[in-house]
Amino acid sequence: MKVLVPVKRVIDYNVKVRVKADGSGVDLANVKMSMNPFDEIAVEEAIRLKEAGKADEIVAVSIGVKQSQETLRTALAMGADRAILVVAADDVHTDIEPLAVAKILAKIVEEEQPGLVLCGKQAIDNDMNATGQMVSALLGWSQATFASKLDIEGDAATVTREVDGGLQTIKVKMPAIVTVDLRLNEPRYASLPNIMKAKKKPMDEKTAADYGVDVSPRLEVVKTSEPAERAAGIKVGSVDELVAKLKEAGAV
């Protein structure tokens, strides 16, 4: 079985986000970028499926600016076999919307015929939580979102999902789209020899036009602003003082 893993280049999760003064967006110039953490978990899961003999090839895909090839190299260094880079934007500040990403991914799925698409449940930049579900819709495939456990047997996958009430386990027909949540696994670090080897692994470069997909946005960004600041409070010296303050504030 071939596994397709879409990965997104996003601001590193440790970097403090700055809103540009003109309100046009978040400043991404000269900021450290990394693979979206949820996508790392998806890559890791694909590698574990391969190690368990349930997958034989892992194809990583990234759609965005040309620099996304760095993110793909990371996936290759972790253990993906080959990569497809789809250049769909020139400026790092251009975020390709999930609908357009899903359309390109659906075309790649038609070409590559994977048995499973494993993606992160959301990207930590736009926090949309949509791409996996949209790919699934476009392909008419089953979907299992927010996975914390994945078990593939034959033509079905049993997936435990993190939902509001606790955990839900469902069984989906393969081929399927699975979006991964935090507790599915802990991604490995790429070793230096593997980083070197990754440089020689194949990477195809395509454009959105190659797939005939229009990536123009449906949502126009009117403005981006800082969230309302919370005024700093006070420190209390004891539990008694805390209880008194809470009573004073009418909070208890």
Q: How many CB atoms lie within 10 A of CB 1?
A: 14
Span from 54-62, 73-81, 205-213, 228-236 in contact with other proteins (CB under 8 A):
228-236
Q: Tell which one of 1, 2, 19, 206 touches other proteins (CB under 8 A).
A: 19
Q: Should residue 94 be labelled a site residue for other proteins when binding is judged by CB under 8 A?
A: no
Instruction: Let me know: does 68 contact 88? Beta carbons within 8 Å.
Output: no
Q: Between 192 and 252, name the residue whose CB sits nearer to other proteins.
A: 252
Q: Should residue 73 be labelled a site residue for other proteins when binding is judged by CB under 8 A?
A: no
For 24, the token pair is 């046009």
Q: Should residue 182 be labelled a site residue for other proteins when binding is judged by CB under 8 A?
A: yes
Span from 41-49, 69-77, 79-87, 166-174 in contact with other proteins (CB under 8 A):
166-174
Residues between 95 and 154 with contacts to other proteins, criterion CB under 8 A? 97-99, 102, 121-122, 124-138, 140-146, 148
Q: Should residue 236 be labelled a site residue for other proteins when binding is judged by CB under 8 A?
A: yes
Q: Should residue 24 be labelled a site residue for other proteins when binding is judged by CB under 8 A?
A: no
Round to whole Å and give the CA distance between 193 and 202.
17
Q: Between 85 and 100, name the residue whose CB sits nearer to other proteins.
A: 100
Round to whole Å and give the CA distance between 144 and 122.
14
Q: Should residue 232 be labelled a site residue for other proteins when binding is judged by CB under 8 A?
A: yes
> At a CB cut-off of 8 Å and minimum separation 6, what does 193 contact?
none
Q: Should residue 1 be labelled a site residue for other proteins when binding is judged by CB under 8 A?
A: no
Q: Tell which one of 90, 91, 154, 166 touches other proteins (CB under 8 A).
A: 166
Q: Should residue 21 be labelled a site residue for other proteins when binding is judged by CB under 8 A?
A: no
Q: Should residue 234 be labelled a site residue for other proteins when binding is judged by CB under 8 A?
A: yes
> Which of 142, 104, 101, 106 shows the shortest CA–CA distance to 122?
101
Instruction: Let me know: does 190 contact 77? Beta carbons within 8 Å.
Output: yes
Q: Should residue 249 be labelled a site residue for other proteins when binding is judged by CB under 8 A?
A: yes
Q: Should residue 196 be labelled a site residue for other proteins when binding is judged by CB under 8 A?
A: no
Burial of 180 (0-12, 13-18, 19+ CB in 10 A): buried
Q: Should residue 226 be labelled a site residue for other proteins when binding is judged by CB under 8 A?
A: yes
Q: Between 94 and 129, name the residue whose CB sits nearer to other proteins.
A: 129
Query: Could you give the 3-state DSSP secondary structure of residue 10?
Result: strand
CA distances from 91 to 30, 66, 113, 146 (A): 13, 9, 31, 30
In the complex, minimum distance from the CB of residue 39 to other proteins, in angstroms, rounded to a whole number:
13
In the complex, minimum distance from the CB of residue 59 to other proteins, in angstroms, rounded to a whole number:
22
CA distances from 109 to 39, 105, 112, 135 (A): 17, 6, 5, 9
